[in-house]
Amino acid sequence: MLRAWLGGAGPACPTLSPEENASVADLLDISETVFGNEIGAAEKRILAGDDAFHQLGQGLMILLKTSLEIDGELAKNAATSLSEAEKLSRAELQRFSSSHRQDNDSIWPPGAPYSLCQAQAQLAAAVVAVNDQSMKEYIRGLYKVRQAFLTLKSLADHDRQRVRNEKLRLTRASVSEKPLQHHRSPNGPVGESKGPVNGSDRKDASSLPTEDVPIPSDAATAVVQPSTAESFSKKVLLHSPNEREAYQLHDIKTPDMKLLSDIFVYTGTNLCFGLLLVCIGMVPSSFQYVLRIIGFQGNKERGLALMWENTKFKNVNGGISALILLAIYNAVRSACDILDDHSYPAKRCEELVAEMRRRYPKSPLWTLEEARLAAIKNDLRLGIEILERPLENAPPQLQSLNLGELAMYQIFSHDHDGCTRNWLEYTKYTQYSHALYYYHAGCAQLELYRAMKNTDPAQAEVHKDAVIKHFHHAMHGVDRKKLMATELPFDNFVTRKIKKWTKRAERWGIDLVDAVGVSPSEEMIYYLGGHKFLQESQLEKSLAILSWSERSSRWNEEDTDEVCIQSLLKGVVYRCLGDLSESRRHLDRVLKEDPKSFKGELKDNWVLPSAHYEMAIIAWTEKSLPEYDEAEKLADCSRSLNTVSRWGSYELDARLTLKVKTAEDVISKYKTKT
């Protein structure tokens, strides 16, 4: 049926009724109020309708509520609404396939709004299925993702064909030297008038409703006005000639849209298909072939370009696209170390946050992004100040996001009291990974205990008791939630670390707190990619904390993997300080060890592959220095990355997999340019 409505031979094209158009407008407008921090009002309005679009909105609103917690009843309600939206959309598509009404104003095939509604419902239902923690539901969710992917791909391919047809017409017009007429849509984004779609285009893209509602110029669902959109595009979307070239390469060009339903389909397709392309494109190469077999093929660059295109539109799809882009780039910047300007376009991200702040001045969503930008500029103090500002009428989900980010920055900046307080508070907002949050609190109290052990023994004992309490809670006092029938990776990490220290305490006949090895807080800073955000004084403090273990009377008895943790972390800190030779010296200390020293149930088997990755970062940095041969250093970098990618399984290996995948892509692009 999908093929029928995308490539039908006949010219007949059904149209949306005024009521259906109103539902599309309602869905966009209601969803937009979420960005205006009016979630309660949005919930009331979305419950007023029972058509496919309102059912989709109801499911998405419930899913938002369950995004940071597991609530079986809410998840069931979300699944019901999404299933109803999918069923109603399918029924409407069947109606469109047999209708004979025609509309020449739409750029989309007949029934496209319902196809998008169905695909969005399927994607959201897949998220619900993952939270269900049932293998049967996982398989069902994967099937829904595949269905949605095929629908979205058909819509996206239709739009690419539109762009190519326009290019062909322009080329023919240029050859025949016919003058082109340009005008702006009074309410649409910047673009050239495409005029009526000709007969050849009609074969590929049948149109939609003649009775569609006009686009309100001042409504939340409207696109950015032409002058604003043009300015924003120049600043954010097309920042350099290379980016403009890449943009054209992906056949992306803003159409001249007169119908609100067209904007709904265009921005919704860009958002959903773009996100899928990015996610699939970031899967390790070894799994890409398997995904292609079952119908998935990613393209990270095109996916990002589609979402950048969406940011020009002042509607919920544009806002979510901006959030996802910033989340992706900030994740890449936090997690990855071998980057180029294209991997993290800092200027574009800054301007995007500023634009979203202007569009949604009441929304607390962008507070988090402002804080992240401050952290990226090595100003954690400012980031913490931003996150500590009170949020007016913010829902618990948004408060928890800010609180988690704040607690993480406090780990980085060695604010152990604040870190303890906020991680414990964070457990009230989510049911996931409580073991990890109590572990964070225990690690922070451990640093306070060590700092006061010789200067204030009484207060040190208070912190020692807190360490024991939090570690015990992490091990025995929380229900461990599972994802896809497996425990969360960091929960397993916490369990192993505490078991390791317990065994050491028994072996040496000492308390658990005194059996802890090299600073677990510094270890967590490394895992969270935090050292790159620290200023010089904070890095010096990290070195002092790491050196504490060397003063222990049992340092000479330490296990090889524990000594190597210290060497690895010192190597990271010295690299961030710019002392590459000292960093290399510490990493060489790790790499000379026998890999067998890191094998065992309680061993830290992640240290050795991490050291190889750190060597790759050093080689990447040295390639730009005049005293080194660039080609030789690139070869060293690639060799170290290849070693990591072939390492096999180890603890939290997904973390390094993302880093290596990003680094390999960056190096590949760099080699093609030089």
Task: List pLDDT tens digits, range 164-213.
Answer: 888 888 777 766 655 544 443 333 433 333 333 333 343 333 333 333 44
**Entry pTM:** 0.81
Tokens 């000709």 found at: 198
The full length of the chain comes to: 674
Share of the chain above pLDDT 70, in %: 81
pLDDT confidence band for 479 (50 / 70 / 90) = low
pLDDT at 98: 66
Q: pLDDT at residue 647 above 80?
A: yes
pLDDT at 224: 37
Query: 305-346, pLDDT tens digit by residue?
Result: 999 999 999 888 999 999 999 999 988 887 789 988 777 888
Asked if 441 and 424 touch (Cβ cutoff 8 Å), the reply is: yes
Average pLDDT of 144-172? 89
What Cα–Cα distance (Å) separates residue 635 from each residue in 78, 299, 448, 671? Answer: 51, 26, 44, 11
Higher-pLDDT residue of 150, 214: 150
pLDDT confidence band for 147 (50 / 70 / 90) = very high
- Greatest mean pLDDT among 44-53, 97-106, 182-191, 259-268: 259-268
Share of the chain above pLDDT 90, in %: 47
Vertex 463 angle, CA 418 and 421, to 5°: 20
Q: pLDDT at residue 503 above 90?
A: yes
Average pLDDT of 10-16? 49
Instruction: Give which of 317, 325, 309, 323 is closest to 357, Cα–Cα.
Output: 323
Rg of the chain's alpha carbons, rounded to an integer?
27
- Alpha-carbon gap, residue 369 to 549, rounded angstroms: 36
Asked if 339 and 333 touch (Cβ cutoff 8 Å), the reply is: yes
Instruction: Give which of 607, 599, 612 is closest to 565, Cα–Cα.
Output: 607
Q: pLDDT at residue 240 above 60?
A: no
The distance from CA 551 to its chain's CA centroid, rounded to whole angstroms, is 41
pLDDT at 188: 40
Higher-pLDDT residue of 134, 424: 424
If one counts every other C-beta atom within 10 angstroms of the C-beta of residue 500, the result is 21
Q: What is the phi/psi pair of residue 338, to 5°?
A: -100, 95
pLDDT at 99: 60
pLDDT confidence band for 146 (50 / 70 / 90) = very high
pLDDT at 390: 86
Which amino acid is located at 512 in the chain? L
